[in-house]
Amino acid sequence: MIQHSVLFVCIHNSARSQMAEAFLNTFGGDYFIAESAGLEAGKLNPNVVKVMQEVDIDISHKGTQDAFELFKKGRSFNAVITVCDEASAEGCPIFPGVIKRLGWSFPDPSTFTGTHEEILEKIRKVRDQIKESVLAFIEEGKHMEYWIK
């Protein structure tokens, strides 16, 4: 079976792209190999680690990486999916050979305010939205015609 490579990109690779990568590798590993990167590498958000552990996915060992460094190394991907707002996504490098470019807009967990529990609840909502998007992508992406230019 062919596995398609997918790169998820957000601002700092600290939250949204990490969650999307983890969900795609967990639920779509037969069809996809996912990575994530940021427009600049940041620091993994500990609240995101916590809410992912709540769904039995451990991302605590993950580092962050810079999308431009992957581009400079000549890395190629079948799909690049931005998971930040549209304005930020415009700063994403154009990877040669990418068959699919998608933009999914999710709120940035680093901007959430409130009590610790309120912040975690907001992150859980984003986590669940990302999971739904990834599961829909897996279903659509299982069909080879999706990958034809």
- Is 84 annotated as catalytic? yes
Q: Which of 7, 9, 10, 44 is catalytic?
A: 10
Q: 49 — phi, psi (to 5°)?
A: -55, -45
| Structure-block tokens of residue 6 | 């997918």
Q: Which residue type sits at 110? A: S
Q: Are the C-beta atoms of residues 7 and 78 closer than 8 Å to each other?
A: no
- Is 54 annotated as catalytic? no
- CA-based nearest residue to 22, from 131, 111, 144: 131
Q: Which residue spans within the chain are E strands per DSSP?
A: 4-10, 32-38, 79-82, 100-103
Q: Which of 92, 126, 130, 134 is catalytic?
A: 92
Q: Which of 22, 84, 120, 123 is catalytic?
A: 84
- Distance between CA 23 and CA 133 in Å, rounded? 10
* Residue 8 CB coordination number (10 Å): 31
Q: Which residues are catalytic?
A: 10, 84, 92
